[in-house]
Amino acid sequence: MAAAAAEGAPASVQLGPSPLLEVSDLRVTFRTRAASIHAVQGISFSVEPGQTLAIIGESGSGKTVSAQAVMGILPRTATVSGSIRFKGDELVGRSEHELRDYRGRNVAMVFQNPERSLNPTMRIGTQIAEAILSHLKVDRKEAHERAVELLRMVRLQAPERRFYEYPHQLSGGMRQRVMIAIALACGPALLIADEATTALDVTTQAQIMDLLMDLQQQTGTALLMISHDLGLAASYAEEVIVMYAGKVVEQAPTKELFADVRMPYTQALLDAIPRIETEPHVLLPVIGGRPPDLAVIPSGCSFAPRCPAVQDDCREQAPPLRQHEPGRWWACWHPYRKGAPE
């Protein structure tokens, strides 16, 4: 990829086969009675086959909306523009009917609340089989067998018995495994995990993430992690995208991002993570202020009101996202110097 600073062009870490998912200048706006909410303001990224990409951001940064746009499950009040290409096929502008074929078959999603994401009155095996039957031409018996196999794959004990159980008979971690089984039922090329471990305790979190990693190895599925947890990204992702107020503000391979933070925002996020080494009874360095109102597109940098390194020109003009170094993108007028955070 040319080292020239190309604005808004898709980023890609490794050269190789064409990307699995290519998002270009995606914009999502919600029409409400009061105003238009600009949830996503022109983001671009791509996912390679088998890659693990993490999108990190606060609530309201637009990360979940972006994931929903890729899945095609945005509500009717949303206006989408830009381009989302999956294996070269353009998804923006497709009919609902066509998208239904694509959803679940090529891209699948695991959600945040395992208690609420499964139908309480349906057996879990049936819910998995449903996913299979809706896309693959198999008979019920084979769907049943595949479902049991999937339950085994997500490491649930006694899968034949589990097939007949109801969601309330399972713990949170087990339910999330079932959700993963449903997601992987049709062998999708891309799996989106939207805060999939946020509602789980730390131990279970680690188990689920390890499971996802192993499954990825087994099946070669690409994984798009959405989270607010930088630590999670650090441990499991190959590349990290940081979003703020609907825009991508930094993008880099994981190691480089954490070794060498440029964006004040990313640094602030890192600082806010409680650490074992921190002295007790010391105030956590949280980021002051609140995320901006997405109904208003600011003239300057969105983070300016809260940025510790803000300068006058930040407020006047919004910095563009540029690839300043090979594989590293950021959008800041005054990024931290290499190795010397302010």
Judged by DSSP in three states, 79 sits in strand
Q: How far is the CB of 110 from another protein (least distance, A)?
A: 9
The pairing of beta strand 222-227 with beta strand 190-194: parallel
Judged by DSSP in three states, 167 sits in helix
Is 175:181 a contact under the CB 8 Å cutoff? Answer: no
**Binding segment toward another protein, per CB under 8 A, in 39-47, 49-57, 130-138, 296-304:** 130-138
Shorter beta-carbon distance to another protein: residue 182 or 268: 182
In the block, which residue shows the tokens 């050269």? 15
Torsion angle, alpha carbons of 300, 302, 305, 306, to 10: -140
Q: How far is the CB of 305 from another protein (least distance, A)?
A: 28
Residue 191: closest CA among 211, 214, 221 = 221
Residues in region 157-186 near another protein by CB under 8 A: 161, 164-166, 168-169, 179, 182-183
Residues in region 7-66 near another protein by CB under 8 A: 27, 29
Q: Report the side by side order of strands in the sheet with 78-86.
A: 36-47, 21-31, 78-86, 89-90
Residue 215: closest CA among 125, 143, 155, 146 = 155
User: Considering the rule CB under 8 A, would residue 74 count as an interface residue with another protein?
Assistant: yes
Q: What is the sign, positive or negative, of the torsion defined by CA atoms of 9, 12, 13, 14?
A: negative
Three-state SS string across 82-93, please? EEEEECCEECCC
Cα dist from 81 to 61, 85, 126, whole Å: 18, 12, 37
User: Considering the rule CB under 8 A, would residue 92 count as an interface residue with another protein?
Assistant: yes
Q: How far is the CB of 186 from another protein (least distance, A)?
A: 8
From candidates 57, 60, 62, 72, binder to another protein by CB under 8 A: 72
Binding to another protein by CB under 8 A, coded x per residue (else -) over 210-249, reads ----------------------------------------
Q: How far is the CB of 120 from another protein (least distance, A)?
A: 6
Q: How far is the CB of 299 from another protein (least distance, A)?
A: 20
From candidates 3, 5, 73, 259, binder to another protein by CB under 8 A: 73
Shorter beta-carbon distance to another protein: residue 24 or 327: 24
User: Considering the rule CB under 8 A, would residue 116 count as an interface residue with another protein?
Assistant: yes
Shorter beta-carbon distance to another protein: residue 134 or 216: 134
**Binding segment toward another protein, per CB under 8 A, in 85-93, 204-212, 255-263, 316-324:** 85-93
- CA-based diameter of the chain, in Å? 67
Binding site for another protein (CB under 8 A): 27, 29, 69, 71-81, 84, 91-96, 99-105, 108-109, 111, 113, 116-122, 130-131, 134-135, 161, 164-166, 168-169, 179, 182-183
